[in-house]
Structure 1
Amino acid sequence: MRFASDSRLQRRHLLLGGTAGLLLPSWAAADEYPSRPITFICPWPAGGTADQSMRAICQVASRVLKQPIAVVNQAGAAGMIGAKAIASARPDGYTIGQIPISVTRFSQLGTLQADPRTDFTYLARTSGQTFGIAVLPTSPFKSLKDMVAAAKANPGKVTYGHSGVGGATHVGMEEFAMAAGIQLNAIAYKGGAPALQDTLGGQVDMLVDSSSWAPHVEAGKLRLLATWGEQRTARFKETPTLKDAGYNVVVDAPNGIGAPKGLPPSVEKKLRDALRVAVQSDEFKAVADRIDAPVMYLDGPDYHSYVKTVYDRETQLIQRLKLKELLQKG
């Protein structure tokens, strides 16, 4: 009887063990990750500069991970629709995506219903953007100094087009205006493309955008007054930065890649390792150079620390620029 009882007990343990395995969540078997294709959410329209850079990264990372990475564009709300989709996804490593650094601002302005300090697993910071101020060749502003002088003489009269209230182009330009002691007339558009068209058509005095002006500057259809990076760009090395002009303002709005919070550590490591290879690859660097996106790699934990620092800085900027009030006015 003892042998029969032991046998039944063993069978029971085996049965319960098998059932427990079936009840484990799909992401528990992290050692086998990835065993199927990965979805990558890009929060911007297909074909844009951000989309191009993310596709280049995904192409290299997929070879490292030995699984396809399908890029899905979920654009809208200045990138916040895609960011929310990433935060809300299952933390199994099969849904990752681009996280714009503007999550630190829009979460505080109420556009993003997520806390960027706690609701994401950060995997890599990738590259920045080249922002600049451009005018028509016929503009009386031959330099940034000319524009500042005109704005001081005519407060609130000099206009500039930007891609939306609270976005990097709007906030960056207003931060510069504060540093320069001038008041400008900000004209909000639903994206950089319509702002560019109105600048070319003479509807606004200046365009503020991230490198959409580049081919038009090279073609002589626009004049570049300043760029906003820490250093001058290789492509437009004759153009001064805001810092060169004496204003301690740097805006490069670096993007990164993340996943929902709660990612298993072994899965997180595999993704971070793959993305490190991808960002440092010649393939990605070639695309980054073509779209004027300086490579600004940080590993996941360092990127997370950077996000927290930017969040605190944005809190102060929102208060100084009264961004909440501006958003309420539309």
Structure 2
Amino acid sequence: MTKAFPAFSRPGRRSVLAAAGAMLAAPGIPRAQGRFPDRPIQIIVPWPPGGSADLQIRSMGEHMTRALGQPVIVQNRPGVSGTLGPVQVAQQARPDGHTLTQMHLSVLRRPWMMRTPGWDPVNDFTHIIGLTGWLFGCAVKADSRFRTWQEMIAFARANPERLTYTTSGIGTTNHLAMETIQEREGIKLTHVPFRSSNEAVTAALGGQVDMVCDSSTWAPFVEAGTMRALSVWTAERVPRFPNVPTLKELGYDMTVTSPYGISGPRGMDEGVVRILHDAMRDALMTPENAEVRARFDMPLVYLDTQAYRAFVAERVEYEKAMVRRLNITLDG
């Protein structure tokens, strides 16, 4: 079962420049840190360009560039269900604060799907800030035989493994949520994973699969009338889709938003972490970033450094237990 996480209050807004200046002058930070950043900062987004997380982090990067006085560059590095980029940062990047990565739940979960875990999600990274989450849901083509979630479940129950659905990869949050739903309903669907939510939606629109269960890349197509949403996985109904039920309303007591944040390699200086945290927090709270999040119905899940590290540690234990309960493995 996917765990719901509480909402967090919005902190007071203040100038990023003032915050950064105050930190550089703070007596507890070594003087050498006054040079940070002394070159461009790179943030790895482990998905193809154009998705909701990519656009949200790019919006933050624009504000951070002005605040920190160095370019903040987003580099897309997809692969291995969104874990290739983050693991490369953990294993190869210098811990100087100039190379960071989006941190998401697949990075916390995937090691426990391997016979020999390839990284430690808690100790191989320096976790900096929690940002937001995704709108997840299931959608079908507008001409699908399924007009409601209940009709889809009834068909799947009568036709084991015949109904196909797609996600952005094996072991992703949405994949495991669908595994949980199948377990509860006593049904069996055929999972057809793709590399990204964009590819998943394309496959559904092209008739390669019956249903997409993924982040909100499907939402514009629902608004345009070429797709139909069967469920949303937020705590409450989404204003853009007021007639689409939540999983809770459908009887599952599940909220799935997959909160994500920004992390760097282990061993980063805490003074540098504070500078980055404050710049990112203020970028997150700008009207421009709020507009991007609203466009994709992304819930604000801001966590400061201490709270985000606690969240990661707690969530790793939860993901580990979930993978074991569902017996999902990657290497036999």
Give TM class, smaller chain: 0.7 to 0.9
Residue of 60, 80, 85 corresponding to 2:83: 80
For residue 102 of structure 1, report the CA deviation from its aligned partner: 1.2
For residue 37 of structure 1, report the CA deviation from its aligned partner: 2.3
3-state DSSP of counterpart to 1:250: coil
Residue of 270, 281, 284 corresponding to 1:276: 281
Partner of 2:56 in structure 1?
A: 53
The reply on whether 1:102 has 2:102 as its aligned counterpart is no
- Give the letter for the 1:182 counterpart: I
Residue of 28, 33, 39 corresponding to 1:36: 39
Structure 2: give runs of 5+ residues left out of the alignment.
1-29
Across the two proteins, how many residue pairs are aligned to each other?
301
Contact map agreement 2:99 2:264 (CA 8 A) in 1 = yes
Contact map agreement 1:101 1:256 (CA 8 A) in 2 = no
Partner of 2:182 in structure 1?
A: 177
Q: CA 1:194 to 1:43, structure 2 compared with 1: closer, same or farther past 3 Å?
A: closer
Which structure has more helix as a fraction of its residues?
Answer: 1
For residue 28 of structure 1, report the CA deviation from its aligned partner: 8.0
Contact map agreement 2:133 2:298 (CA 8 A) in 1 = yes
Partner of 2:200 in structure 1?
A: 195
Partner of 1:224 in structure 2?
A: 229
Structure 1: give runs of 5+ residues left out of the alignment.
1-26
Contact map agreement 1:176 1:249 (CA 8 A) in 2 = no
- Give the letter for the 2:72 counterpart: I
Deviations 1:2-45 (A, max 9, x none): xxxxxxxxxxxxxxxxxxxxxxxxx9812332233222222222
Contact map agreement 1:80 1:112 (CA 8 A) in 2 = no
Q: CA RMSD in A?
A: 2.0
For residue 112 of structure 1, report the CA deviation from its aligned partner: 7.1
**C-alpha separation between the residues in 1 aligned to 2:247 and 2:134?**
15
- Give the letter for the 1:224 counterpart: A
Residue of 49, 67, 72 corresponding to 1:69: 72
Deviations 1:222-251 (A, max 9, x none): 110001122222221221110111102222
Q: CA 1:38 to 1:197, structure 2 compared with 1: closer, same or farther past 3 Å?
A: closer
Contact map agreement 2:81 2:195 (CA 8 A) in 1 = no
Dislocated runs of 4+, deviation >6 Å: none
**C-alpha separation between the residues in 1 aligned to 2:215 and 2:154?**
24
**C-alpha separation between the residues in 2 aligned to 1:185 and 1:265?**
46
Contact map agreement 2:166 2:209 (CA 8 A) in 1 = yes
Partner of 2:10 in structure 1?
A: none
**C-alpha separation between the residues in 2 aligned to 1:126 and 1:246?**
29
For residue 187 of structure 1, report the CA deviation from its aligned partner: 2.0
The reply on whether 1:167 has 2:172 as its aligned counterpart is yes
Contact map agreement 2:167 2:213 (CA 8 A) in 1 = yes
**C-alpha separation between the residues in 2 aligned to 1:98 and 1:222?**
29
Partner of 2:312 in structure 1?
A: 307
- Give the letter for the 1:101 counterpart: L
Residue of 273, 293, 296 corresponding to 1:291: 296
The reply on whether 1:131 has 2:136 as its aligned counterpart is yes
**C-alpha separation between the residues in 2 aligned to 1:269 and 1:195?**
37
Partner of 2:241 in structure 1?
A: 236
Deviations 1:159-185 (A, max 9, x none): 212222112232121122223332222
Q: Select the structure with the greater relative contact order (CA < 8 A; seq sep ≥ 6).
A: 2
Q: CA 1:104 to 1:155, structure 2 compared with 1: closer, same or farther past 3 Å?
A: same
3-state DSSP of counterpart to 1:188: coil
**C-alpha separation between the residues in 2 aligned to 1:112 and 1:297?**
29
Deviations 1:285-306 (A, max 9, x none): 1111113322211112211111
Q: CA 1:73 to 1:201, structure 2 compared with 1: closer, same or farther past 3 Å?
A: closer
**C-alpha separation between the residues in 2 aligned to 1:215 and 1:91?**
39
State which structure, 1 or 2, has the greater radius of gyration over its C-alpha atoms. Answer: 1
